[in-house]
Amino acid sequence: MKVLYFSWLREKVGTAEEDLSPPEDVGTAGQLIAWLRTRGDNYADALADMATVRIAVNQEYVQLDHPVKAGDEVALFPPVTGG
C-alpha cells in the first residue's frame, strides 16, 4: 500500500510517500490511521486531530469507514486551500 502525505502533514510525518504493509486487521481508512499513530510521535502528532485530516483512496475522497487494501494509494492531507 502506498501512503502519501501533503502540506503540513508531510512536514510533520517527515516523508512525502512510503510503501507500507499494515497488519491484516487494518481494513479501513480509520484503522489505517489508528495504526499509523502507533508508528511514532511524528505520526501521532500529525494525525492527532481528525478534523484537520482529509483522506483519499485511489485519488477519491473517502470517509474513515472506507475499505483499504494492499495495492491501494492512500493520501492523507489537510483541508485544501487552493484558488
Partner 1 sequence: MVVRVQEEDFDIGTELSSLTTGKHGIGGVCLFVGLVREMAGDETISSMTLEHYPGMTEKELIRIEDEARSRWNLEETLIIHRCGKLAPGDQIVMVAACSAHRGNAFEAARFLMDFLKTKAPFWKLEDTGKGSQWVDARDSDDTAAARWEKG
- What's the closest the beta carbon of residue 68 comes to partner 1, in angstroms? 16
Work out whether 12 is an interface residue with partner 1 (CB under 8 A): no
**Amino acid residing at 2:** K
Work out whether 71 is an interface residue with partner 1 (CB under 8 A): no
Whose cell is 492527532? That residue is 48
Work out whether 59 is an interface residue with partner 1 (CB under 8 A): yes
Work out whether 35 is an interface residue with partner 1 (CB under 8 A): no
Burial of 12 (0-12, 13-18, 19+ CB in 10 A): middle
What single-letter DSSP state applies at residue 57? Answer: E
Work out whether 81 is an interface residue with partner 1 (CB under 8 A): yes
Cβ 43 vs Cβ 14: under 8 Å: no
- What's the closest the beta carbon of residue 76 comes to partner 1, in angstroms? 11
What residue ranges bind partner 1 (CB under 8 A)? 4, 6-8, 56, 59-61, 75, 77-83
